[in-house]
Structures are given as C-alpha cells and as structure tokens.
Amino acid sequence: MPIIEFCNITKAFSGVKALDDVSFSIEKGHVHCLMGENGAGKSTLIKILTGVYQADEGEIKIKGETVKIRDIYHSRKLHIGTVFQENSLLPHLSVAENIFLTREPKTKTGLINYKEMYEKSLEWEKKLGVSIDPKEKVRNLSVAEQQIVEIVKVLSQDPEIIILDEPTSSLSDNEIENLFEIIKRLQDNGMTFIYVSHRMEEIKEIGTSGTVLRDGKFIVTINDIKKISIEEIITYIVGRPLNQIYPPRHAEIGNVLLEVKNLSVPGLVHHVSFQVRRGEVLGFSGLVGAGRTETAKAVFGDLKKSEGTIFKEGDKLSIKSPKDAIRCGISLLTENRKEEGLFLEKSVSWNVVSASLDTIKSHGFLNFRKERNLVKDYVKALGIKVANVERPVKYLSGGNQQKVVFAKWLNAGSQIYIFDEPTRGIDVGAKSEIYGIINQLAEQGKAVIVISSELPEILGICDRIAIFHEGKLVKELDRQDADQEKIMYYAIGGRDKVENISE
C-alpha cells in the first residue's frame, strides 16, 4: 500500500488551473522526486499536502485513509514534516530553542527546562550523525548547518514523510554530499521523502522514484529513476528533446574584444591570462573555490588585483571599481542574484534601469514614460512573466528574476558580459530561454564569459572552455575537443603537455 496517494487533485486560482486532475502515489521508504518547470504545479501540490491550500477537487490518502488537511499543524499530526526552501528558523534564538519552538519541555513549575531541551537536541542530532552546539545562536551558523537544524526540527516532530523543497540551492558540493548521507541514513530506517529540485544530477543521485508535472498536469511517474537517463527526464519535463534545450549557434567569431594578462588576486587568483573574441562564448569551468568567480570579480573591479592588465580591443583599461567596469562596457551578472544582482523590494522597472539611469533621462531629469516603455520592451523581448512592471521583483520566479538581471545589464549597453552561474536555481525551460539570450548577445558581436558548475551547460553553450584549478587557469579546450571526463581531469589537477596555460 502506498504511503501517500494523490487522487484527481484540482486547484484553480482566479479561474486558472494550477493543478488539473493530478493523480499519483508514493511508496514508503522512497526518495520520491517531484519534478517540473516553474509553474508546473509542484509548489501548489506541496502546499495542499501541508494544508496551506485546500484542493478544489480530489482527495489525498495517507496509508489508505482519506484525509482533509486543514493546516500545517494538522499535517504535522499526520506525520508530515516540511523543510521549505526559505529558512524558517529564528536567528536570535539558539539551535535548541528553534528545534523545540512552541514544544519546549517544562519543569514542574512551568518554566522551560533548558537542560532537558539541550539534551534532547543532542539526541536528535546524534540520530543524524551530526554535531551542532544546541546553545549556539542560529545566526552564527552556516547555511548548511541551519538546514541541518531545520531537518532536526522536523525529525523531532516524529514524521513519517519529509518534504525537502530545493534543499541544496545554497549549499556547496561537500555540504550537498553530507545532506545526501543524512537522507540515505533516514531512508534506510524507513523514512519517505518528497524531494523537489531542478538539478537533474542530484535527482539521479538521491532519487529512487519520481513524478513529473507539466502545466499543472500529471505527465509520468518514474518507478526507478536510476534506470532512466537525464535526457529522458528533461524531455518529460519540458515536452521536447534535450538537443532542443541548447539552441543552435550562428554567431561569427571576430577579433579579440577582451584580453586579460597575468591577473592576480592575493591568495585567490594566480597569473591568469585569457582572451575572448567578438561573437564568442568562453566557459569558465572548475571546482568550487578554483578561482573562476574571483577572476571575474577582479576583471569587473569588484576584487582588488595585485597585478595584471586588462585590454579592450587592444586598449588598456583602468578598472578600479565596478563603476569603472560598467563605464568600459563590461557587465557582471553575479552568482548570488538575490543579494548582489537585484533589489528584491524594488519593482521590475526600477531594477531594469538601476545600472543605467542615463538611458531614461531627458534634459537631465528622469523620464518615467520613457522608463515604462523601455522596460516593457525588455519584458516583451526577454519573455519576463509579470503582469505589472511595478511589481516587486521578490514575487517573481527564479527564472524571471534572472531575466530581470539580464535586462538590467542589456540596458547598460555593454560589449562584454560575464555570467556567473546564470541558470542556478531555475527550471529547465527557463534555462533554454537564458541560453537563447546568451546566443543573441554573441550573434550581436558581444564577448561572453559563462561561469558554470554544470558541465552539460558548459559543453552545450560555450565555444571554448577555460579550466581553473587552485586559482590558476590550467587548460583551455575547444568545444569539439572537450567532454565531461576531460574537463574534470584538469579541474582536479590533472596535467599534460599543456598549451595556453597560465603559470
């Protein structure tokens, strides 16, 4: 008997169906991956399962019994625990206080029994094989440690089903490995997981089964994820083959637009040299901490270089700050778009023009009609899904937020674009649109650098690949000569008779 059954679930908002007659089941002890693009219905289904929304039609069965989940507290009583993508911990409280919030053990006199609370916290941590000081304030923990506390908090509520919503979006590779070990340990003890993620490699590694939704409809349940390829999963998700995800390239590669010689940042980047031509997409590949992002930030003036020279079409540039870089026609779309690339509380319109206010000035004053028209043109050209350009960016999906960042820098009129993890945290369909925008820039004769940890992405959109290891550019490969194994060989320190090497 399945532990969960979704039976003909339908949910509409303002007459638009977010879920349309969705039915599937999940077996006990599985890591069941819920997959689909943004807007596919994943979040709506999770919110129905946790009692945030009520289904308009259909029913949910838990261990064969039909239930109507009233709210999140009711879902907990049904042994459903949820670790949401956004951190729900209170930073000013301790680890233990967060774990047992509203469920604190009490003394006979009715006071909080801190000794017992700390001991119970350690007991739960021990079951996970982790060790975090229960007295430590949450604000002092790393993102990965906070996520572990979230899982401990859920475990302490005695769940049989745990929902993990994009759990790795802010974690390093090592932290992801540690999280997967915890998941596997709990799964071995009979725990059932619903795992929501856009990352196909993770789904293949941690998932045992999965379900794909598209446009609010059930597409397929995969009983054994290990037996299906990533290409097949993506085809189910987007409704078209993988070879259509990476658009064909038609750009003509011209003269050298950007040249960097002997660039160094103390302790981070060591004597890096490279060129990018007009119409070319150069990929930066390597392990986390290899110096890719630091190189980009040094070129952009966001990190102070100790030595090195930057040329644009042969002319030496003086870049001491991002403002200088923008003036020189260089744009950097940062990896952490929510903290560095966007003003989340501000509108779409405000964000688009924030890097280039001169484009909307008339006689020295801001022309708001010009701003609205310009922003609407970008919304249309980039396919940004927003009903009103005055809507705060924080309400947009990850893919649409990324497009707003693109619009911001396209409006700046740059010649050189550096994209740091441009598709991190967005769905496969939105990724394809982002790749199309990058292609368009190359076709317009711009020089493009793409920093990515996803090797299929690097191989799918780049003309050449620069591989970094321990702060050095150790190898350059043309796309036709590269594959994932070869890139990883150099990324972990492998060497041969290297050409184009930065010593």
Residues 214 and 97 in one domain: yes
Distance, in Å, from the CA atom of 36 to the CA atom of 25, rounded to the nearest integer, reads 17
- pLDDT tens, position by position, 263-281: 999 999 999 999 999 999 9
229 with 310, same domain: the answer is no
Q: Is residue 376 part of a domain?
A: no
Please state the rounded mean pLDDT for residues 219-235: 92
Instruction: Report CA-CA distances (Å) from 378 to 212, 381, 403, 410.
Output: 31, 5, 9, 9
- Determine, yes or no, domain membership for 367: no
Task: State the pLDDT at residue 338.
Answer: 61
**E-only strand ranges, 376-438:** 416-420
pTM strictly above 0.85: no
Q: Is 172 a member of any domain?
A: yes
The closest of 290, 257, 254 to 272, measured between CA atoms, is 290
- Single out the residue in 241, 271, 290 at which a domain terminates: 241
What mean pLDDT is predicted for residues 442-465? 93
Last residue of a domain, one of 216, 241, 266: 241
Q: What backbone torsions phi and psi does residue 264 show, to the nearest 5 degrees?
A: -140, 140
Please answer whether residues 42 and 195 qualify as being in contact, where contact means their C-beta atoms are separated by less than 8 angstroms. Answer: no
Exposed, middle or buried, 68 (CB in 10 Å: 0-12/13-18/19+)?
Answer: exposed
The answer, yes or no, to whether residue 498 has pLDDT greater than 60, is no
Are residue 32 and residue 124 in the same domain, yes or no?
yes
The pLDDT tens digits of the residues spanning 19-65 come to 999 999 999 999 999 998 777 899 899 999 999 999 999 999 999 99
Q: Of the candidates 195, 215, 241, which is a domain's last residue?
A: 241
pLDDT at 242: 59
**Is the residue at 394 inside a domain?**
no
Q: Is 139 found in the same domain as 26?
A: yes
**Tokens 């006990």 appear where?**
28
Q: What is the pLDDT of residues 135-190, one digit of tens each?
A: 999 999 888 888 889 989 998 988 999 999 888 876 777 778 888 998 999 999 99
E strand or H helix at 312, and its extent? strand 307-312
Q: Is residue 14 part of a domain?
A: yes
Q: How far is CA 372 from CA 116, 352, 377, 395, 408, in A?
A: 59, 10, 9, 19, 14
Q: Is 217 domain-assigned? A: yes
Strand order in the sheet with 16-26: 16-26, 4-13, 57-62, 65-67
Assess whether 161 and 82 both reside in one domain: yes
163, 284: one domain: no
**Same domain (yes/no): 29, 153:** yes
Q: Could you give phi then psi for residue 322, rounded to 5 degrees? A: -55, -35
Structural domain contains residue 430: no
- Alpha-carbon gap, residue 414 to 412, rounded angstroms: 6
Looking at residue 360, its pLDDT comes to: 65
Confidence category of residue 367, pLDDT binned at 50, 70, 90: low
Total count of domains within the chain: 2
Question: Do 188 and 308 fall into the same domain?
Answer: no
**Could you tell me the CATH number of the domain that includes residue 298?**
3.40.50.300
Domain of 292 in residue numbering reads as 245-328+454-503
Identify whether residues 150 and 289 lie together within a single domain: no
Confidence of residue 365 (pLDDT cuts 50, 70, 90): low
- The pLDDT score that the predictor gives to residue 494 is 84
Copy the structure tokens of residue 257: 């637009």
Helices (H) and strands (E) counted in the chain, each on its own, are 16, 22
